[in-house]
Structure 1
Amino acid sequence: MIDILVAGGGYVGLSLAVALKKAAPHLLVELVDPAPAGAWQRDERASALVAAARNLLAVLGVWDKIEPEAEPIRRMVITDSRAGDPVRPVFLTFEGAGTTEEGQPFAHMVPNRAVTGSLLEAAGSLGIPVHWQTSVVDFTSGPHLNEVKLSNGETRQAKLLVACDGVRSKLRDIAGIKTVRFDYGQSGIVTTVEHERPHEGTAEEHFLPAGPFATLPMRGNRSSLVWTERTEDANRLIESDDLVFEEELERRFGHKLGTLRVVGGRKAFPLGLTLARAFVAPRLALAGDAAHGIHPISGQGLNLGFKDVAALAETIVEADRLGLDIGSLSVLERYETWRRFDTFRMGVTTDVLNRLFSNDVTPVRVVRDLGLGIVDRLPGLKSFFIRQAEGLAGRNQPRMLVGEAI
Structure 2
Amino acid sequence: MAQTNQPDIFDIAVVGGGPSGRIAALTLAQAGFSCALFAPPSAKPDGRTTALWQQSIDLLRDIGIWAEIEATAAPLKKMRMIDGTGRLLRAPEVTFDSSELGMEEFGFNILNSNLNAVLEIFCDKQENLTIVGESVEAACFDGSCARLTTRDGQSVSARLAVAADGRNSFLRETAGIDVKRWSYPQVAVVLNLEHRLPHQHVSTEFHTATGPFTLVPLPGRQSALVCVETEDGAAKLLAMKQEQLERELERRSHSIVGAFKLASKPQSFPLSGMNAKTLTGERLALIGETAHVFPPIGAQGLNLSLRDILDLRDILLSARVRQADPGSTAVLSAYEAKRRGDIKTRTNAVDLLNRSLLTSFLPVQAARSTGLYLAGKFGPLRRLLMHEGMTPGSSFRPGRPAGRPPVNS
Q: Is the TM-score greater than 0.5?
A: yes
The answer to whether residue 79 in structure 2 is matched with residue 76 in structure 1 is yes
SS at match of 1:30: strand
Residue ranges of structure 2 left out of the alignment (5+ in a row): 1-8, 397-402
Counterpart residue type for residue 2 of structure 1: F
User: CA offsets per residue over residues 350-388 of structure 1, 9 Å max, x none?
Assistant: 111111113455554344223211210000001101111
Q: How many residues align?
A: 392
CA pair 295-98 structure 1, distance change in 2 beyond 3 A: farther
SS at match of 1:402: coil
CA contact (8 A) 1:162 1:287 kept: yes
- The match for 1:20 is 28
> What is the aligned-residue identity percentage?
30
How far has the Cα of 1:109 moved from its partner? 0.9
SS at match of 2:199: coil
How far has the Cα of 1:258 moved from its partner? 1.6
The answer to whether residue 6 in structure 2 is matched with residue 4 in structure 1 is no
User: CA offsets per residue over residues 140-159 of structure 1, 9 Å max, x none?
Assistant: 11211112221232222121
How far has the Cα of 1:287 moved from its partner? 0.2
User: CA offsets per residue over residues 270-314 of structure 1, 9 Å max, x none?
Assistant: 211211110001101100010001122211111000100101122
Counterpart residue type for residue 132 of structure 2: H
- Deviating above 3 A after TM superposition, structure 1's stretches of 4 or more consecutive aligned residues are 82-85, 97-101, 359-367, 400-405
- The match for 1:154 is 154
Query: Bigger CA drift: 232-241 or 51-60?
Result: 232-241
CA contact (8 A) 1:186 1:229 kept: yes
Equivalent residue for 2:41, pick from 16, 23, 35: 35
In angstroms, what is the RMSD of aligned CA positions?
2.5
Counterpart residue type for residue 365 of structure 1: Q
CA contact (8 A) 2:250 2:258 kept: no
Tell me how far apart the structure 1 counterparts of residues 261 and 383 of structure 2 sit (CA, whole Å): 35
- The match for 1:94 is 96
Tell me how far apart the structure 2 counterparts of residues 164 and 142 of structure 1 sit (CA, whole Å): 20
Tell me how far apart the structure 1 counterparts of residues 406 and 188 of structure 2 sit (CA, whole Å): 32
- The match for 2:53 is 50
Tell me how far apart the structure 1 counterparts of residues 104 and 119 of structure 2 sit (CA, whole Å): 22
User: CA offsets per residue over residues 163-184 of structure 1, 9 Å max, x none?
Assistant: 1011121211111111121111
The answer to whether residue 293 in structure 2 is matched with residue 293 in structure 1 is yes
User: CA offsets per residue over residues 191-217 of structure 1, 9 Å max, x none?
Assistant: 100000100001011110111111001
CA contact (8 A) 1:139 1:146 kept: yes
SS at match of 1:312: helix
Query: Bigger CA drift: 331-340 or 240-249?
Result: 240-249
CA pair 189-99 structure 1, distance change in 2 beyond 3 A: farther
How far has the Cα of 1:84 moved from its partner? 11
- The match for 1:131 is 132
CA contact (8 A) 2:247 2:259 kept: no
SS at match of 1:393: coil
Tell me how far apart the structure 2 counterparts of residues 89 and 283 of structure 1 sit (CA, whole Å): 48
Counterpart residue type for residue 255 of structure 1: S
CA contact (8 A) 2:61 2:67 kept: yes
Residue ranges of structure 1 left out of the alignment (5+ in a row): none
- TM-score using structure 1 length: 0.90
Query: Bigger CA drift: 340-349 or 268-277?
Result: 268-277
CA contact (8 A) 1:206 1:213 kept: yes
Residue pairs, 1:155-194, within 5 angstroms: 155-194=155-194
